[in-house]
Amino acid sequence: MPSTIISCAVTGSAPTTPDKNPAVPVTPAEIAASAIDAAKAGAAIVHCHVRDPETKLPSMDPAHYREVTERIRDSDTDVIINLTTGPGARFIPSAEDPSIASPESSMCTPERRVVHIEEMSPEICSLDVATMNFNQHVFLNHPDHLAIMAERARAAGSKPELEVFDTGHIVLAKKMIADGLIDAPAYFQFCLGISYGAPATVESMIMMRDMLPEGAVWSAFGIGRFQFPIVAAAVLLGGNARVGLEDNLFLEKGVMAPSNAALVEKAAHIVQQLGGTVATVAEARERLGL
């Protein structure tokens, strides 16, 4: 088996997770510290959202991204930074006129969604190749918007991590690759078990893996209780794995995860128990063409 690249999704954008588990980092300093600890535990990539330090709610403030990125870069780790571009795509129709977004929506231009990417030039940025029902809102990523974001990410020197939540999203991602918007090797993240997306099953992973273009690198994660079974399945199927408090708040049934590092350590243990090895940052950079 190839070595397994472990990614850690540090805090995410779900509004209530810091209230459910106090280990979820909120301030830029906490997010950076948690990312650094995850790197020391074996994560080659840290995937970062940011939050408003006062409200704990998701934020798009470039200043927060700047502080998180600079703190990680100033640390004694050489971890790969992956900044999200997911926020800004939440659409909830108004009850009076479905063609108009309700006040709870958070739609913005694709240019606004990559401001922090252009400023900070992370090695990786997520790109959600998905329009889908997501709980009670629509996660809306128009192909034209994705093209703009991909082009701007390339100009900033950032490799898109193609987040796909179902099989049709892979079809769109392959169209973007064919159109020259994504450089080889393409990097896919299978997002499994999310409401109204592909279920967190081995069957889903095999089908999605078999749809990938030649030479693609892929990773997978499962939400909640599916996090660690998906780690094991991804290793055995030749992929890589993501864990972290964005996706799962528990270390085991009934036991809250004390940190992102603890989740990474458990994932690394699973990899090793299955006869594999955890990829170093240098190995991850080489395989991803960074």
pLDDT in tens, 131-180: 999 988 999 999 999 999 999 999 999 999 999 999 999 999 999 999 99
Q: What is the model's pLDDT at position 256? A: 97
Task: For 119-153, give one letter per residue: b (16+ CB within 10 A) or e.
Answer: ebbbbbbbbbbbbbebeebbbbbeeebbebbbebb
Sheet harboring 137-139: ordered strands across?
90-91, 137-139, 132-134
pLDDT in tens, 254-263: 999 999 999 9
Mean pLDDT of 89-93: 96
Instruction: State the pLDDT at residue 109.
Output: 97
For the chain, what percent of residues have pLDDT higher than 70? 100
The whole-number pLDDT of residue 135 equals 87
CA–CA separation, 42 vs 281, rounded Å?
9
Task: Assign residue 250 a region (left: φ > 0; alpha: ψ between -120 and 50; beta: otherwise).
Answer: beta
pLDDT in tens, 169-214: 999 999 999 999 999 999 999 999 999 999 999 999 999 999 999 9
Q: Residue 2 — very low, low, confident or very high, per pLDDT cuts 50/70/90?
A: confident
| pLDDT above 90: percentage of residues in the chain | 98
| Model pLDDT, residue 1 | 78
- Give the pTM: 0.97
Nearest 5°: phi and psi at 240? -120, 175
Domain boundaries, the chain: 6-288
Provide mean pLDDT across the span 242-264: 97
Fold of 6-288: TIM Barrel (3.20.20)
